[in-house]
Structure 1
Amino acid sequence: MAKLAEQQIHRLTIEGYASDGSGVARLEGMVVFVQGGIRGEMCDVRLTHVGRTALWGRVHEVLTPSSARVVPDCPHYGRCGGCQFRHMDYAQELEAKHTRVYDALTRLGGVEHLELPPVLGSPKVDRYRNKAQFPVSRGPRIGFYQNRTHRVVDVPDCLLQSQAAGRLRQAVKEWMTAWSVPAYDEKSRLGLVRHLYVRTNRRGESLCCLLVNGRGIPREHELVAALRSAEPGLTGVVLGINQSHSNVILGESYRTLWGQDFLSDRLCGSSFQLSVPSFYQVNPDQAEVLYNKALEFAQLTREDTALDLYCGIGTISLVLARQAGMVWGAEVVPQAVDDAVENARRNGVTNARFLCGDAGEAARRLDSQGVRPGVICVDPPRKGLAEEVVDIVASMAPRRVVYVSCDPGTLGRDVKRFAGHGYVLTQAAAVDLFPRAAHVETVVLLSKLNTKQHIEVELNLDELDLTASESKATYEEIREYVLEHTGLKVSHLYIAQVKQKYGIIERENYNKPKSENSRQPKCPPEKEAAITEALKHFGMI
C-alpha cells in the first residue's frame, strides 16, 4: 500500500459519527473523520489531512447512498462551519446525536445499563435561533467562520437565524462600505469592527450590538439610521468595547447608541430581561422542553431548598421556584445577576435569591451559612465543572444533582467524578436545541447512593499534586478530550510541552529529561494543535 497522503482518494464505509458530526471510517487501522458521510454509506473519500494516528477527509463521491441522504438546502453548506447535518434528514441527525450522548455517558462516564430515550427533537429545524454572532473581516465579509479556520465566509442569509438578523447584517455591511469603516484584523490587531451581535425575541423585536476594537465608531448617527430603516422591530442599538487581543467576542463595557440596552422575552411562562452579555438559550421552544425535564428530574417539594449554580439570568431558578420552598442562584457575571434579581421581581417570585461569584465560591459561602440544599442544579459552560466544584457539590450532600450539559464529553467526565462521591446516574434525556448543528443538550439526574454502600475510588497520586492552572483539567482529561475529538493519542510529555509554550508552569518530572544527555521527542504539529484546542476548551488558555 502506498504511503497515505493528502488528496488521495480511498473507498471507505462510514461506520458511525464523531462528536463534530462528521462520519467515522477506518483505513489501515486508523480512524478517518469524513465530512459529509452518513452511517452505512460506501464513499470515495478524499483525504484532506494526514495525521500520525488519525486521518481527515471529505466525501468525493457517494457510491451507495443512505436513504437518509438529502440535497443540502443552503448554498454555503460545506464552506461555512455553522451547520454539520444538512446532507442528511432530521431523523438521522437525531440518531447521530443519540449515539454521541450514549457513547459519552457509557465510555467516558462509565455508566452501565444506560437507558437513554430517543432525542427530543425540535419542531423547527430552521429559523429557530434567537441570537446571531457574526464575525466581521476585511471586504467587508460578515458571516461565519469556515470550518476549522478563522476565515470568514460571507453569508447574506443564514437559515438558522432570524430574517431580522439577516437584514441588520446587510445594513451594517452597507454602512461599513459607504463610510469606509475598517474591519478588525486578527493578525495585525488593527481595524475596528470585530463582530455583529443580534438578539431577537418571540415577539419579533431585535437588539443589535456592534463589537469594536476601540472606544467609539465614526458616523454613529448614520449607523443607527441604517439599522432602524432596515428593521422595524429594532428596539435598541448598543456599542460593545472589546480591545482585547483574544478571540473573546463580547465586550468589556457597553454604551447605548439608541433605544434600550436590553430585550424582553417569555420562557416557561415567565418574563425575562436580556442584556447583551446575558446567557439565554438560543432555541426558546426547546429550552422549555429542557428546563421542564430538569424540573421533572429534580422532584422538588415545598420543603426543599434548591441551589442553581451557573444560573445566568435566572431562567432555571425561576422554573425550580415553582415547586421548591427556596431557591438560591449563583452566577459569576455581575450583570447577569442583576438581570436575575430583576427577573424574579418582575415575575413576582419571592422565594428566589441570587448571589454573584463563581460556582465553587458561591457553594462554599452558602454552606458556611448553613444552607443545605436537597437538590442542586448545575448548568455549566462547555468545559463542564471544575473538579473542586464536583467536590464541593458532593460535600453539601444533596439528595439529587440535576446536571444540564451542552457538551456530552465533559458531562461524561463529570458523571464519572460524581460517581466517586456516591452519586450515580439514574435518568438521562437528550434534547435537541441545535438542529442542523452538531451540538446537543443533555440533562441527567444523579442520585445519592445509600451511604452504607461501600464505594471504591482509584486515585492517581501523581495527579493530586496540581498547580493552580493544572487544576482546570488533569493530563488524563486532556488526553481523553483529544482522543474523543480528534482520534489522536497524546502523551503527558507532549501536553507538558504545549502547556509550557503557553506559560503554564509544569512540574519538573513532566518536562525535564532524566539525564542531561537525553533528548526529548518534540510534539508533532497536528498533536500540538489538538492539545491547544483542548486547553482552550478547558479554559486554561
Structure 2
Amino acid sequence: MPKKNDIVRLTIERCGLAGEGISHLDGQVVFVSGGIPGEVCDVQLLKVGKTAIWGRVHALVDGSPARVAADCPYYPKCGGCQFRHMRYSAELETKRRRVEDALRRIGGVDLPVSEILGAENTLRYRNKVQLPVAPGPRIGFFRARSHDVVNVEDCLLQPETASALRRAVLAWMLEWGVPAYEEETHTGLLRHLYLRFSRTQVLCCLVVNSAKPLPGEEALVSALRAAAPGLAGVAVSVNQERTNVVLGRELRSLWGHPWLDDTLCGLTFRISVPSFYQVNRDQAEVLYEQALAFAGLTGHELVLDLYCGIGTISLVMARRAGKVIGAEIVPSAVTDAKANAARNGITNADFLCGDAGTAAQHLAMQGLRPDVICVDPPRKGLSAEVCDAIADMAPARVVYVSCDPATLARDVRRLHESGYRPEKAVAVDMFPRTAHVETVVLLQREAG
C-alpha cells in the first residue's frame, strides 16, 4: 500500500489536463508534477487518495530528450507555467495529442487534430496581468493548487513594464503603510494589481477591499506614471466580497481613462477594465483567422456569433459575411461591441443582449435562420439548452472555438447527436509554456 513520501519508480505514460505527467501504481492513477511522457522517474508521493495519487519527480532514471533546464527562477514554485522544463516543439505535440485524445475519449469521435499552430514568440506575450497581493507584502502569483502567493519580481510571460509597475506599487505600500489583503481574515486593503496592455499603452487597476480613498493617491499616480511612460490610466476596483473573483462591481478612475484602444486583425477595439479580450494578441489573430476559414464565408451568409463579448470575432467575420448578429449576456460587453462596430465603420453587424435562446427568438421573429453559428464559450462550455437551440436553428455549419478540450469534446458529442458531423479540428497555442490550449472545430449539418 503506497504511503505519503514513499519514493517509487514509475514510467510517465502521457500528460494530463494540467500538464502533469500521468502514470499508474497498483491500479491507481498517479499525477506526477514535472514528468514528461516516456521518462522513467523516481517519484516522491505527496498525497495518496482513494482513487488517485499525486507526486513529483524526485530523480530522473531515464530522462526524455524533450527535457530542458527551466529558464525561470520561480519555476515550478509559481503555478503560472507548466512546461518550462520541456522543449517547445514537444509542448506543442503534447497539447495537440491532448485535444485529439479528449475528442476520442469524451467526444466519441475519431477526429484528427490536423495541426497545432504554435507561437512565434513564447516570451512576454500576455496583455493582461493579474497579480495577487499577500502580507509581507508579496506581489506575484499563486503557488500551484493553492492561494499561497509566490513573490515574483519578474515574469517571463508578462511585459517588462508589468515588473516596473509592480515595484512602484510595492514601494508605495511600504512608504504609506498600505496593508495587503489577508484572505483568511478578510482584512487588509490591496487585493490584486490588475494590468492591461495595448500595443502602445498600459492601464493599471488596483483591486481593494475598501471604498475609502487610498492612502497617498497622488503619490501613487506619480510613481506609476514614472514607472510606465505609456500609462493611459489608473483606476481602483472595489471588491469587498469573500470571493475568488478578482474585480469588484465598483470602479473609479484616479487618473487618465479606464480603457485602452488596441488593434486586432486590422480592426480597432476599445477594451475596458472588465472586458474579455484574448491575452495573446498575435495568437488571437491566428485563432480568428482559423475560425474565419472554417466558417467558409462568401459574402452572403447570415452569421450568429454566440458569446461575442466586445465583438472581436463578430467584426472579423462581418468583413466576409452578408450580416453578423452577435449575442452576449453581459450588458457592458454588448455596449462595447456596438461601439466597436461604429468605430470600425462596420454596418452589417448587430448585437443583442441575451443567450442562445434569446438569439433564436430574435431571428425567428424576423423570419431568419443563420447559415453559420460561431461559439466561443467560457471554459465550462455550452449548456445542453444552448446545444439544443443551435440544433433548432439548423445552420449549415457550426464553428466552435474552445479553451477547454474536455468541455469541447462533451459538446461535440452533443452536437453530433443532434445531427452535426465534426469535420475538422485545429489547435492553436494561445498560452505558450502553460497547459492551456485553444481549439477550433468545424461541424457540418448532416443531410436529412
Is the pair's TM-score, using the shorter chain for normalization, greater than 0.5? yes
Shift of 1:211: 0.9
Pairing 1:2-41 to 2, within 5 Å after superposition = 3-41=1-39
Q: In structure 2, how many angstroms separate the alpha carbons of the residues matched to 1:373 and 1:147?
A: 43
Tell me, yes or no, if structure 1 residue 448 matches structure 2 residue 437.
no
Opposite residue 117 of structure 1, the aligned amino acid is S
Instruction: Show the 5 A alignment for 1:338-377.
Output: 338-377=335-374
For 1:79 and 1:286, locate their aligned partners in 2 and report how far apart those are by CA, in whole Å.
27
Cα distance change on mapping 1:357 and 1:253 into 2, 3 Å? farther
Q: Secondary structure at the match of 1:125?
A: coil
How much does 1:349 deviate? Answer: 0.5
Tell me how many residue pairs correspond in the alignment: 447
Structure 1 residues 58-457: aligned runs within 5 Å: 58-112=56-110, 114-203=111-200, 205-216=201-212, 217-451=214-448
Could you tell me whether the CA contact under 8 Å between 1:132 and 1:199 is conserved in 2? yes
SS in 2 for 1:414: helix
Question: In the alignment, is the contact (CA less than 8 A) between 1:105 and 1:408 conserved in 2?
Answer: yes
Question: What do the CA deviations read for 1:388-443 (whole angstroms, capped 9, x no partner)?
Answer: 11111111110011000000000000001101110111011000010000000001
| Secondary structure of 1:256 counterpart | strand
Tell me how far apart the structure 2 counterparts of residues 446 and 5 of structure 1 sit (CA, whole Å).
47
Query: Would you say the 8 A contact 2:40–2:63 is kept in 1?
Result: yes
2:356/2:389 contact within 8 Å kept: no
Give the whole-Å Cα distance in 2 for the aligned partners of 1:157 and 1:137. 17
Say if 2:356 and 2:390, in contact at 8 Å, map to a contact too. Answer: no
Aligned mates of 2:365, 2:187 — CA distance in 1: 48
Equivalent residue for 1:492? none
In structure 2, C-alpha distance between the alignment counterparts of 1:214 and 1:351, rounded to whole Å = 44
Instruction: Determine if contact 1:372/1:396 at 8 Å carries over to the other structure.
Output: yes
In the TM superposition, what is the alpha-carbon distance from 1:182 to its structure 2 partner?
1.3
Give, in whole Å, the separation in 2 of the partners of 1:172 and 1:135: 12
Query: How far is 1:63 from its partner?
Result: 1.2
Q: TM-score normalised to the size of structure 2? A: 0.98
* Distance in structure 2 (CA, Å) of the matches to 1:310 and 1:30: 39
Cα deviation, residue 371, structure 1: 3.1
Write the distance in 2 (CA, Å) between the matches of 1:367 and 1:89. 51
Instruction: Give the corresponding residue for 1:507.
Output: none
CA distance in 2, matches of 1:359, 1:426: 23
The Cα of 1:280 is off from its aligned counterpart by 0.6
1:360 CA displacement: 3.4
Q: Whose strand fraction is larger, Structure 1's or Structure 2's?
A: 2
* Per-residue CA distance 1:259-279 (angstroms, 9 max, x = gap): 011111110010111001111
- Asked whether the 8 Å contact 2:326–2:352 carries over to 1, the reply is yes
Cα displacement (A) at 1:189: 1.3
Matched AA of 2:43: V
Alignment correspondent of 1:531: none
Query: 1:10 and 1:232 mapped to 2: Cα distance?
Result: 53
Alpha-carbon distance between aligned partners in 1 of 2:395 and 2:210, rounded to the nearest angstrom: 47
What is the DSSP-based 3-state SS (H/G/I as helix, E as strand, rest coil) of the residue aligned with 1:168? helix
| 8 Å Cα contact 1:22-1:84 kept in structure 2 | yes
**Structure 1 SS opposite 2:117:** coil
Aligned-pair CA distance for 1:116: 1.4
Question: Counterpart of 1:31 in 2: which secondary structure?
Answer: strand
Q: Distance in 2 between matches of 1:350 and 1:290?
A: 24
Query: Whole-Å Cα distance in 2 between the matches of residues 212 and 275 of structure 1?
Result: 18
Measured in 2, the distance between the counterparts of 1:140 and 1:359 equals 45
- How far the C-alpha of 1:146 sits from its partner, in A, is 0.4
Unaligned runs of at least 5 residues, structure 1: 452-541
How many angstroms does 1:94 deviate by?
0.6
Whole-Å separation in 1 of the counterparts to 2:222 and 2:383: 46
Counterpart CA distance in 2 for 1:368 and 1:194 is 47
**Does the 8 A contact of 1:35 with 1:58 survive in 2?**
yes
Structure 1: distance between partners of 2:176 and 2:45: 44
CA contact (8 A) 2:80 2:141 kept: yes
State how far apart, in whole Å, the 2-side matches of 1:170 and 1:233 are. Answer: 16
1:153, 1:56 → 2: CA distance? 21
Post-superposition CA distance 1:74-101 (Å, at most 9, x none):
1110110000000110011011101110
Question: Which piece of structure 1 moves more, 41-50 or 186-195?
Answer: 186-195
CA contact (8 A) 1:364 1:392 kept: no
**Cα distance change of structure 1 residues 182 and 371 upon mapping to structure 2, 3 Å threshold:** farther
Rounded Cα–Cα distance in structure 2 between residues aligned with 1:442 and 1:81: 23
What secondary structure does 2:166 align onto?
A: helix
Residues 83 and 91, structure 2, Cα contact 8 Å, conserved in 1:
yes
Paired AA for residue 279 in structure 2: V
In structure 2, what is the equivalent of residue 56 of structure 1?
Answer: 54
2:261–2:268 contact (8 Å) kept in structure 1 = yes
Q: Residue 332 of structure 1 contacts residue 359 of structure 1 at CA under 8 Å; is this kept in 2?
A: no
TM-score by length of 1: 0.81
Residues of 1 paired with 2:333 and 2:176: CA distance?
35
- 1:437-461 residue CA offsets vs partner (Å, 9 max, x unmatched): 000000101110112xxxxxxxxxx
More deviation, 378-387/218-227: 218-227
1:9-56 Cα deviation digits (max 9, x unpaired): 001111111010001111112111110011111110000110111111
1:294, distance to aligned residue in structure 2 (A): 0.3
Letter aligned with residue 310 of structure 1: Y
Percent of aligned positions that are identical: 60
Q: Tell me how far apart the structure 2 counterparts of residues 176 and 338 of structure 1 sit (CA, whole Å).
A: 36
Q: CA deviation at 1:253?
A: 2.1
Q: Is the partner of 1:364 in helix, strand or coil?
A: helix
| Aligned counterparts of 2:5 and 2:121: Cα–Cα separation in 1 | 38
1:340 counterpart letter in structure 2: A
C-alpha RMSD of matched pairs (Å): 1.1
- Counterpart secondary structure, 1:127: coil
